[in-house]
Structure 1
Amino acid sequence: MQLDSKTGPVSAGPLFDGVARLTGLLTATVLVALVSLVCLEALLRGGFNYSLGFAEELTGYGVVFITFFGAALALRGHAMFQVHFLLQRWPGGARRWLVRAFVLIALVICVILAWKTKDLTLSSFSRGKFAPTVLRTPLWIPQIMLPLGFSLLAFFLVEQMLLTFRKSGTE
């Protein structure tokens, strides 16, 4: 956890860096595909009065993917909302314990949500449920983004926790 926005560690090791790079690559790829699909759909509708029919479904799945994976990258990059004027008033040791408490609470929530959404995904898979859409997508395919997203958030929360045990140069 980077305790100060100007100093302190930003990575807990190469494993976290590699996962972050892979997450960034996947998120960027999905974003490019999403923008391309929306632009193509707009061009076809406006210019040729034709719709792909499946663009809305795929863009919905893409938005969910980008939301979860982007949130994980934002968490790692310390771009989430924080109450800095309150957090910075605490002494360094107390601030680290406050961050640890937040991380533990958030980690418990992420693990519970990942577990429950995994159950939902496995239920849809075992019952052979399909989306009532043009593509008839098996529901487990978009639903798997939920446990993966919560797990990725939990992974970077673990990194945040590990980083609170490193001393920053300002304390």
Structure 2
Amino acid sequence: MTALDRAASILSAFAALIAGTMLVAMVGHTILEMVLRAFFNTSTFVLDEFVGYEVAALTMLGLGHALNTGGLIRVNLLTRLLGTTAQRRVELAVVILVFALCLYLSRYHLLAIEAAYARGTRSNTLAQTPLWLPLAVFVAGLVIFMIQLLAYALRLLGGGNPIRDNHESA
């Protein structure tokens, strides 16, 4: 395992830990909202906004770890029929394509972050959340995923086997 592979795995696992913590916070906030509404006839008034941000963050921060551990949904009906070398080549081509798409997506999100920050754009809610914050978490997750993709591509180029999903036999 190369240094980049180890670093990508650690970074992805850390991001997944943050995502898990956010999930716990989301459940806690939902329970708080239920108690406030049921017993005190009030609300935090930001549950739906924050849960929306957290779902996006959970998704993006968990991508790298899901890729690395075989947790991403994979369609491998055709690649299963190929030999190991052909599987590796197809997998590498897909990783390069996904990396390019992520690079394209991150470029436009970085421009959106810059614009939201420069303009001081805030959500149109009671919380008035600066919109560059959820966008930044989205991009952070995307960058971590791209680092994991790069490490995986280098692993494949070095002769490593493609990642198997959690439900696939070797």
Instruction: Settle same-fold status: TM greater than 0.5.
Output: yes
Structure 1: runs of 5 or more not aligned: 1-8
After TM superposition, give the deviation of residue 113 of structure 1 in Å: 0.5
Pick the aligned partner of 2:70 from 68, 71, 78.
78
Residue pair 2:23, 2:58 contacting (<8 A) in 1 also: yes
Worse-superposed segment, 105-114 or 138-147: 138-147
After TM superposition, give the deviation of residue 12 of structure 1 in Å: 6.0
Residue pair 2:60, 2:142 contacting (<8 A) in 1 also: yes
State the TM-score, normalized to the length of structure 1: 0.85
Answering whether residue 89 of structure 2 is matched by residue 89 of structure 1, we say no
Residue pair 2:15, 2:141 contacting (<8 A) in 1 also: no
State the TM-score, normalized to the length of structure 2: 0.85
Q: Name the aligned partner's letter for residue 76 of structure 2.
A: H
Q: Secondary structure at the match of 1:149?
A: helix
Deviation string 1:101-120 (CA, Å, 9 cap, x unpaired) is: 00000000001101110000
The alignment of Structure 1 onto Structure 2 pairs a total of residues equal to 159
Structure 2: runs of 5 or more not aligned: 162-170
Cross-structure match for 1:31? 23
Distance 1:83 1:139 in 2: 35
Q: Which runs of 4+ in 1 moved over 4 A?
A: none
Q: Identity of counterpart residues, as a percentage?
A: 25
Deviation string 1:5-64 (CA, Å, 9 cap, x unpaired) is: xxxx8x963212321231122111111111100111112112322111122221111111
Distance 2:9 2:72 in 1: 18
